[in-house]
Every structure is written in structure tokens, then in C-alpha cells.
Chains A and B, each alone.
Chain A
Amino acid sequence: MVDTNLVLAVQNVTKRFGGLIAVNNLSFDVSRNEVMGIIGPNGSGKTTMMNLISGALALNEGTISLNGRYISRLPAHEINRRGIARTFQLVRVLPSLSLLENAMAGMVFGHQRLWGEQARHEASKLLERVGLGGQQNVPATALTYIDQKRLELARALAAKPEVLLLDEWLAGLNPTELQQGIDLIHSLREDGITIILVEHVMDAIRSLCDRCLVMAAGAKIAEGRPQEVLSDPEVIKVYLGEDI
């Protein structure tokens, strides 16, 4: 019996880089319209896990499925067309394209295949949505850091994804920008998107996430609601070290 509420299933996934095991037999499920946070100290394998889901890296063992179909061995562009979009840890806008074109990029090649006037119209609306309205023909390189992040988000949303991967999207923002960012992500929930976010900013985790997964050294050490997970002594030990 297929669970239609289950959007993404990660099962026993392992990723090795030579002798280093970056992701170690990790399993977790993500339900529809859920916001799942992945947290853990630096080097715990969070971004690698994101890369495995989006297809940027190939896994060594295990499977990943979207809506019951395997995506684990598919190329990144195919995974995108199936409905997964992402932002990157180090923001990657397309420098020689305008803002409008950056946003359009997400919708031209995905499952929607929009083009021409319709694509420009939709892209324009998206730019407004993320707070970049009115700057359509500005070159992408002229943007501030948070605006670049907004642009990347617009590009990801342009794909009308089922699952949105946000890799430390809230990093490097000042308190005002952070609040704006959190509000923006909140508003995405209303569109029915399922979100997986990798974060270090605990306030964001607490206010946004339904559930949380804690990774350390590639393995899962806790899973559950943010309050439970963040007060788990194992989790605290992993972040702050042993009691002296």
C-alpha cells in the first residue's frame, strides 16, 4: 500500500569519498507539505546528503525515492524534472544573465517547459514574490548578498517543485534579513511545497520546522520535533562537546 503522504524516502544511503564515509547508512522520510530540518555540526554530511538527493553526487549504497519512484541513480537534470529544486550553500546566480532571465532559467527546462512571453510573465511574478520586483533587467552581479539569495530562491521556485532543498539559505544574514527570510519560507508552505532545509540558525529551525533530523559524522543521531531534538543530551554533546 503506497503511502501517498510520503513524498521523499531516503533508505540506507551511504556515500564514501575514498576512505571517508560522509553519509553513513542514513534513512529518513519526508511527508507532504512538511518542513524538515537537517542540522548537525560542520562536516556531519548535511550538504552531502542534499547533494545526493538533488543528484549532484552519486550515492554508493541505498536508495532515494520521490513519490514511490527511485531517483537515486538518475542524473541531476532528470531529478529536477521530476520535481526537486534547490539552492546552493555558496549562492550561485548566473552572472551574465539578467534577474528576469535567472528566474526564467528555472521554468524553461523543467517539467513545465515555459518559454517566451508566458515565461517572462511568470518569472516577473516570481521576482515580486521573493521581493525583487522592479529590478528585472538589472544584471545579477549587481545584487546584494541577500538579494542574490532571493534570486536563487526565485529560480528554484520557478520550477514549481514538489520538494525544495534549501542549503543554508539563511546563513550570513543580519537579524532583519533573517526575519524576512524566515517569513518568506513560511509563506512557501502555503503553496503546498515540501521543504527540506539544512541550517545552523536555531531560531529558524525552531520556528519553521515540523521535524528535525540531527546528523553527526554522517549518521543520524536524533529525529523528531525541534523542541525534543534540541534538548536531547546526545545532540547537545555533539554540538558543544563532552562535559568537562
Chain B
Amino acid sequence: MDILITGLLLGGTYALIAFGLNLQYGVARIMNLANGEMIVLGALAAFWIFIADAISPILTMLIVAPLSFFGNWLIYRFLLRPLVRRAKNQGQLEVDSILATFGMAFALVGVMVSIHGEYFTYSYLAEPFEILGETFALNRIVAFCFAVLIGAALWLWLYFTRAGMAVRAVSVSTEASGLVGINVPQLSAIAFALGGAVTTMGGTLISTFITLDASVGVVFTMKALIIIIMGGVGDIRGAIVAALILGLVETAVARLIDPGLTLAAAYAIFVLILLFRPQGLFGRKPS
């Protein structure tokens, strides 16, 4: 039972990160491998601000979100748009964006390591909280609640506003969207920026209960990828389910088998999905 709830709490927070990548890959069609580094940046910001002024990470999250939005918008506009224009087909764009975002990821890691090379963690709301007779860390619960809130806000925006509908249209077909008058480049930039902001918020939330260091970004990128591919790219529902499954599996493996194998378990899921159901749990099989 304990495993179940801890796993779900973890999964909920993972879902937020997956949303970010879903927006970037599903809409802007950029596989952002620097995604994990956005998480670490958000976490670092929370750490510094907390250590310096004891300001709640939740507040930090609200500060870094617009910063991250703007930063990612700049990245899309100046680093990624030239690739979109240059690519003759989707395949080439994918290869180019993989290489470019790898470059960004390594560059960011390099910079972060030279600024703060050690592990960082801080104690925020590390008190016990009771649910159904079992105790859990309050910080995990708070992180989960905020992840749900942000996720819900995102979902409402996507499904109940015009801009959100435009974003969903682009994720289905960039060509057709252009034909109905949607400014695809502008919307892709916004989606990319929004995805980055959501990811960074996820990073600040995760930093409340997990110890991180500057180079751990790639692990989170992998997890985000596993989630969106398992759930079906562009599918919000699928991402949530997949994130929860991942959270559960990781927690179960850590408690029941060995904490050292959580990563291997995650990769194993990934490998199995790609082999047997590459369209994800909720995606449609390509004809």
C-alpha cells in the first residue's frame, strides 16, 4: 500500500515533466534532449533561493516559470527555428534537433558543473504526513498536489481555450493547421516555451524531495521520453497513465528488489514498449 501511494506520488510529479516534453515534441516537433537540464536548472534555482533566503520552492517555481518560458522561447526562435527552416523533411529535422539539443544539453551540464559540481539537496517540508494510516513525506504530497494543479491548468487551457485548441491542432498536423490560418511557427515557439516552463516547474517540485546534481539531467530526459513514448506522443491522458505506471514500477523495484535497479527497470520498460508497441498505450497503430 505504501509502495502504491509513494509510487503514485512520484508518478504524478513525473507526469508534469512529461507534459513539458509532450508539448515540445508533440507540437513543436522538436525532440528536446536538453529537457532534463531544464529540470536541473529549476532544481538549482530552488536550491539557491532556499539556501540563501529560505524562500519556499513553490514561490521560486512561480518566479522561474516565466523566466524559463522566455528562455525556451529564445532557444526555439534562435537555435531551433533555423533547423526547422533548413530541414527538407521531418526525418532530417529530427536528426538535426537531436544533435542540436544534445549539444545544448552538454553545454548546459558543462556550465552547471563548473558553477556547482556537487550534489545539492535541501530540507523542505520533510515532515511526516498520514494518509490511510501510513506515513508519507509531506514534501512529496505537496509536490504531487502542485503537479496536479499545474497539470489541470494546462489541460483546461488546452481543451477550453482557442489558443489551446490551436496548439492541439498543430500537434495533429502542422500542414493542415497552416491551411486553416494558424500561425504554426509562432505557435510552435509558444508550445516549446510553455513546455520548457512546465518542465522547469517540475524540476523545482522534484528538488523538494530528491537529491540531484548537475549531471543527472539525462536520466530525467530518458524518463520523460519513456513516459511520452509509452503513453503515445501528444496524448495527455496517456502521459499521465504512463507517468503513474513508471512511478509505481520504480518505487516497487526500489523497495522490493534493489534501489540500484530502478534505472535498469525504467530502461527495460522502454525497450519493451519500443519493441512491441511503439505507438504507445494510447497511440494509434500507423497503417
How far does the alpha carbon of A57 sit from the alpha carbon of B287 in the complex, in Å? 7
Write out, one digit per residue, whether chain A residues 1-25 have a CB within 8 A of any chain B CB (1) or not (0): 0000000000000000110000000
How far does the alpha carbon of A176 sit from the alpha carbon of B239 in the complex, in Å? 58
Chain A residues, Cβ within 8 Å of B287: 17-18, 57-58
Interface residues of A in 40-60 (CB under 8 A from B): 57-58
Write out, one digit per residue, whether chain B residues 250-287 have a CB within 8 A of any chain A CB (1) or not (0): 00000000000000000000000000000000001001
B-side interface residues, number (CB < 8 Å): 2
How far does the alpha carbon of A58 sit from the alpha carbon of B285 in the complex, in Å? 13
Which bracket fits the contact residues of A?
A: under 10
Chain B residues, Cβ within 8 Å of A18: 284, 287
How far does the alpha carbon of A58 sit from the alpha carbon of B287 in the complex, in Å? 8
> SS class of chain B's interface: helix, strand, loop or mixed?
loop
Chain B residues, Cβ within 8 Å of A17: 287
Chain A residues, Cβ within 8 Å of B284: 18
How far does the alpha carbon of A17 sit from the alpha carbon of B286 in the complex, in Å? 9
Identity of the chain B residue whose Cβ is nearest the Cβ of A15 in the assembled complex: B287
How far does the alpha carbon of A17 sit from the alpha carbon of B287 in the complex, in Å? 7
How far does the alpha carbon of A67 sit from the alpha carbon of B287 in the complex, in Å? 27
Distance in Å: Cβ of A54 to nearest Cβ of chain B: 15
Identity of the chain B residue whose Cβ is nearest the Cβ of A22 in the assembled complex: B287
Chain B residues, Cβ within 8 Å of A57: 287
Distance in Å: Cβ of A60 to nearest Cβ of chain B: 9
Interface residues of A in 161-215 (CB under 8 A from B): none
Distance in Å: Cβ of A206 to nearest Cβ of chain B: 35
How far does the alpha carbon of A123 sit from the alpha carbon of B171 in the complex, in Å? 46
Identity of the chain B residue whose Cβ is nearest the Cβ of A17 in the assembled complex: B287
How far does the alpha carbon of A55 sit from the alpha carbon of B287 in the complex, in Å? 12
Identity of the chain B residue whose Cβ is nearest the Cβ of A16 in the assembled complex: B287
How far does the alpha carbon of A66 sit from the alpha carbon of B202 in the complex, in Å? 58
Distance in Å: Cβ of A39 to nearest Cβ of chain B: 25
Distance in Å: Cβ of B89 to nearest Cβ of chain A: 13
Distance in Å: Cβ of A114 to nearest Cβ of chain B: 31
How far does the alpha carbon of A18 sit from the alpha carbon of B284 in the complex, in Å? 9
How far does the alpha carbon of A236 sit from the alpha carbon of B191 in the complex, in Å? 49
Write out, one digit per residue, whether chain A residues 147-167 have a CB within 8 A of any chain B CB (1) or not (0): 000000000000000000000
Distance in Å: Cβ of B173 to nearest Cβ of chain A: 14
How far does the alpha carbon of A63 sit from the alpha carbon of B99 in the complex, in Å? 44
How far does the alpha carbon of A66 sit from the alpha carbon of B183 in the complex, in Å? 49
How far does the alpha carbon of A12 sit from the alpha carbon of B287 in the complex, in Å? 19
How far does the alpha carbon of A76 sit from the alpha carbon of B111 in the complex, in Å? 50
Write out, one digit per residue, whether chain A residues 77-95 have a CB within 8 A of any chain B CB (1) or not (0): 0000000000000000000
Identity of the chain B residue whose Cβ is nearest the Cβ of A57 in the assembled complex: B287
How far does the alpha carbon of A122 sit from the alpha carbon of B284 in the complex, in Å? 45
Write out, one digit per residue, whether chain A residues 54-74 have a CB within 8 A of any chain B CB (1) or not (0): 000110000000000000000
How far does the alpha carbon of A170 sit from the alpha carbon of B51 in the complex, in Å? 74
How far does the alpha carbon of A18 sit from the alpha carbon of B172 in the complex, in Å? 15
Distance in Å: Cβ of A57 to nearest Cβ of chain B: 7
How far does the alpha carbon of A135 sit from the alpha carbon of B80 in the complex, in Å? 41
How far does the alpha carbon of A57 sit from the alpha carbon of B286 in the complex, in Å? 11
Identity of the chain B residue whose Cβ is nearest the Cβ of A18 in the assembled complex: B284
Identity of the chain A residue whose Cβ is nearest the Cβ of B284 in the assembled complex: A18
How far does the alpha carbon of A58 sit from the alpha carbon of B286 in the complex, in Å? 11
Q: Which residues does A use to contact B, with CB under 8 Å?
A: 17-18, 57-58
Could you name 5 residue pairs across A and B whose Cβ atoms are closer than 8 Å?
A17-B287, A18-B284, A18-B287, A57-B287, A58-B287
| For the complex of A and B, 5 pairs with smallest distance between CB atoms | A17-B287, A57-B287, A18-B284, A58-B287, A18-B287
